[in-house]
Amino acid sequence: MSRDPKQLADQIQAAADSGRSRPPLETWHPELSGDIDIRILRDGTWLYQGEPLKRAAIAQLFSTILRREDDGDYYLVTPVEKWRIQVEDAPLLAHGLEREGEGSKQQLWLTTNMDERLPVGADHPLSVGHYPNSEEPRPVIRVRHGLEARLTTATFYDLAEQVVEDDGQGYGIWSGGEFFPLG
């Protein structure tokens, strides 16, 4: 893998074109290759050497090989290389709340800024924490490989419209047969 984002994107695209929907990151365990000057800002902007990536498709491709490991750091991973990157908050954003059904039978869906549609439920649980040293809520949905998508402010307000009080569980939302307390 090259440290040049265009070459890296070409390699990822070639792998994607081979018919695989998502790379099997859980099976790839290369040694750390080093740090690469890629940073994901809180607003979802991907920077390379301080400049925004010119093509959204490159960031979208990179998101398919991104994982967060037990050390809390984020890495772009291929079968033979692993590059550490910097992430200001969550690497993905969630927006576009959709609802199917009603009450405890409803299914909520969120779409990430990388065009991945996620069903809120056991595989993609929703939680609301707080930023350190702040009471500002930090709503996130788990995506995969240790990654989270932070709900945009507008989406969090849309979600608040779905809040119900459940006996014994407090305030929260139902989705995918699960109750998610929202505090």
Averages of pLDDT over runs of 10 residues in the chain (183 residues) are 59 52 91 97 96 92 96 96 97 96 94 96 95 92 97 94 85 94 81
pLDDT of res. 13: 56
pLDDT of res. 7: 63
- Whether the Cβ atoms of residue 47 and residue 39 lie closer than 8 Å to each other: yes
Task: Give CA separation, 121 vs 22, 52, 55, in Å.
Answer: 20, 33, 32
pLDDT of res. 1: 46
pLDDT of res. 19: 46
Residues 115, 116, 122, CA angle at the centre, nearest 5°?
155
What is the full DSSP assignment across the chain? --SSHHHHHHHHHHHHHTT-SS--GGG--PPP-EEEEEEE-TTS-EEETTEE-S-HHHHHHHHTTEEE-TTS-EEEE-SS-EEEEEESS-SEEEEEEEEES-GGG-EEEEEETTS-EEE-SSSS-EEEEE-TTS--EEEEEE-STT-EEEEPHHHHHHHHTT-EEETTTEEEEEETTEEEE--
